[in-house]
Structure formats: structure tokens, C-alpha cells
């Protein structure tokens, strides 16, 4: 079992930065590929970024490439999403997710087994 708790969301002006954190409980964190997804009001949940178990491989959605960076610290059981040059269209609830252990990094939300409760990010223009 993995429990995920996101933090770091808030209100920021366009062009600003935020760093989201996702703290995971459970011994299997270091064996789980992790991802960040987001959902804006009235829209479907979408992929943002993902990272492999060891952190060597990362994916990012085209809409955030060059602005967002995903990373992890397995010693702290934490995954991060550094968000720079934020835009109003980045406004959404951001969710951290974990795959079952040993599964590969993925873009697809249905392949993630564990989810956090979400943290709100609001970017004002």
C-alpha cells in the first residue's frame, strides 16, 4: 500500500514558480514509477509528468516541457514537481500518483494505482 499526500499548491502570478511535493508512505515507494496529473474545471484529467523508479527516466507533456521538472528523492519518499514560468492555463488541481511496484514509467492515468487528494494551483494573469 502507498499513501500519497501533495503539498505546495497555491496562488501565483503568471510567470511565477511553485514547487509541489508529494510525500509517500510505504516501503515500496522506491520501487514505484510516479506521475503528476492535473485537472482543470470542466476538463478531463491530463498527464503532466512522470518519473521512473530510479529517477533516470522522465516524461513531460508537451504543454509543460521546458517549464516543469519532475524529480524524486527516494531517501525521503518524496516526488517533486518544479513549475516555472507558470501560465493561467496551468490552473488546475494537481494530483500525484504511483504505479504498482516494478511497473514502468507511464503517461496513462489508468495505469496508476495510488492517488493523492490533490493540491490546487491557481495562476493569475
Q: Compare 86 and 100 and report the one with higher pLDDT.
A: 86
The share of the chain scoring above pLDDT 70, in percent, equals: 100
The chain-wide mean pLDDT, for the chain, equals 95
Is residue 29 scored above 90 in pLDDT? no
Q: How far is CA 60 from CA 47, 76, 85, 120, 122, in A?
A: 8, 23, 15, 20, 20
User: pLDDT of 39-98, one tens digit each?
Assistant: 999 999 999 999 999 999 999 999 999 999 999 999 999 999 999 999 999 999 999 999
What pLDDT band is residue 2 in, cutting at 50, 70 and 90?
Answer: confident
Mean pLDDT of 105-121: 96
What's the pLDDT score for residue 101? 85
Compute the 3-state secondary structure of the chain and give helix, strand, coil in percent, each to the nearest 5: 5, 45, 45
Label the pairing between strands 10-13 and 119-124: parallel
Amino acid at each position: 500500500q502507498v499513501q500519497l499526500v501533495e503539498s505546495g499548491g497555491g496562488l501565483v502570478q503568471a510567470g511565477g514558480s511553485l514547487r509541489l511535493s508529494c510525500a509517500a508512505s510505504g516501503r515500496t515507494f522506491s520501487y514505484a514509477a510516479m506521475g503528476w496529473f492535473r485537472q482543470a474545471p470542466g476538463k478531463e484529467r491530463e498527464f503532466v509528468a512522470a518519473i521512473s523508479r530510479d529517477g533516470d527516466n522522465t516524461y513531460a507533456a508537451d504543454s509543460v516541457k521546458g517549464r516543469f521538472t519532475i524529480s524524486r528523492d527516494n531517501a525521503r519518499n518524496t516526488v517533486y514537481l518544479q513549475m516555472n514560468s507558470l501560465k493561467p492555463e496551468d490552473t488546475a488541481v494537481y494530483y500525484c500518483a504511483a504505479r504498482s511496484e516494478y511497473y514502468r514509467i507511464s503517461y496513462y492515468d489508468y495505469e496508476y494505482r495510488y492517488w493523492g487528494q490533490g493540491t490546487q494551483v491557481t495562476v493569475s494573469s
